[in-house]
Amino acid sequence: MEDQQPPKAKPAKRPDNAPIDALRLILKQQAVTLTPMVNQVSAMPVDDSLEYYFIPMQYMKQYAPYHRPGKPFKNFKLVNYNQPAISLSFFYKHKYSIQRNPTHDEVMFHLRNQRNELLNRSLFEQLSATQNEQLRQVDGLMRAFRDSPDAYQACFSNYHHYYRYWTCAYRYFEDTTLTQANSLTEHLLKHTERIKGQVHERVNVIFIDPHYITRPVPNDNKFIDRELDTFPLQLRQGITTLYLRKNPFTDEAA
């Protein structure tokens, strides 16, 4: 009889969430502040549900264990790992959907849920005048839809929820000579409230190049800033600066 091999153990499932409470302690120690007047960055996002940190590139390798291409953490995003930003822009889109011409059953289901929510609340607290009016309105609509399903036209939408979908556009050097820059855009994670009273926290990490984030970087193939950096002596008069450096091919320069 052949020896039976024991079944191979399944590889352990990788966790979906990173330990963000512990990571926050490190991030807050390493994070730097950027301002539009000083740095190459647009106006900062102002959103209580958005949490992000600017981390200098020298700390980037410390976050290698949390860089999982194809299987990222649900609550922790390395926005631009291995691509430290030399400029940043933030913008948002108003994300919404609309469902036109829902079925009679879908409308009744929505009305019934809203009615039940108000009735359940009335068991524990007195409804306000506005809530009592909502309850009367829902009761009236339910009767109207039962008696005459075609009396109303309906649609569903989350438009007035005003969900803002934040994105980060960044430039980075894609070569070691720092002469070719590229641009990418990434969406940012937001805190979400899936169950009433329970908030799922999410953290974004944006790596920056501390040197180039503080100065304009010309478009590709325009390297005058690099050329001028090779002149250590700079004498400014009015709007013109004289740049000087020793000639490496002669000993006559003082």
Residue 64 lies in a domain: yes
Is the domain of 59 the same as that of 115?
no
- Is pLDDT of 221 > 80? no
Q: Do the domain assignments include residue 143? A: yes
CB 154 within 8 Å of CB 98: no
Q: For residue 247, is it within any domain?
A: no
Same domain, 83 and 130: no
Is 32 within the bounds of a domain?
A: yes
* Largest pairwise CA distance in the chain: 103
In a 13 Å sphere around the CA of 103, the CA atoms on its Cβ side amount to 3
What average pLDDT does the structure give for the chain? 84
Number of domains in the chain: 2
pLDDT tens, 3-13?
566 666 555 56
Domain boundary among 155, 179, 198: 155
Q: Would you put residue 152 in left (φ > 0), alpha (ψ -120 to 50) or beta?
A: beta
Instruction: Give the single-character DSSP code of 32.
Output: B
Q: Do residue 42 and residue 144 come from a single domain? A: no
pLDDT of 166 higher than 80: yes
Whether residues 72 and 24 share a domain: the answer is: yes
Whether residues 106 and 90 share a domain: the answer is no
Asked if 169 and 40 touch (Cβ cutoff 8 Å), the reply is no
pTM above 0.85, yes or no: no
Residues 24 and 133 occupy one common structural domain: no
User: What SS3 class is residue 39?
Assistant: coil
Same structural domain, 150 and 179: no
β-pair partners for 95: 163
90 and 107 in a single domain? The answer is no
Q: With 90 as the cut, is the pLDDT of residue 215 above it?
A: no
Note whether residue 189 is domain-resident.
yes
Residues 176 and 52 in one domain: yes
Host H or E run for residue 78: strand 76-78
Whether 165 and 83 map to the same domain: the answer is: yes
Domain of 134?
102-155
- Do 92 and 145 sit in the same domain of this protein? no
Rounded distance between C-alpha atoms, residue 208 and residue 184, angstroms: 14
Q: Is residue 118 part of a domain?
A: yes
Percent of the chain exceeding pLDDT 70 equals 84
Q: What is the pLDDT of residues 133-158, one digit of tens each?
A: 888 888 888 888 888 878 778 888 87
Q: What percent of the chain has pLDDT over 90?
A: 35
Domain membership of residue 10 (yes or no) is no
Q: Is the residue at 253 inside a domain?
A: no
91 close to 171: Cβ distance less than 8 angstroms:
no
Give the alpha-carbon dihedral of 155, 161, 162, 167, to 10 degrees: -100
The answer on 211 and 119 residing in a single domain is no
Which residue among 135, 155, 175 closes a domain? 155
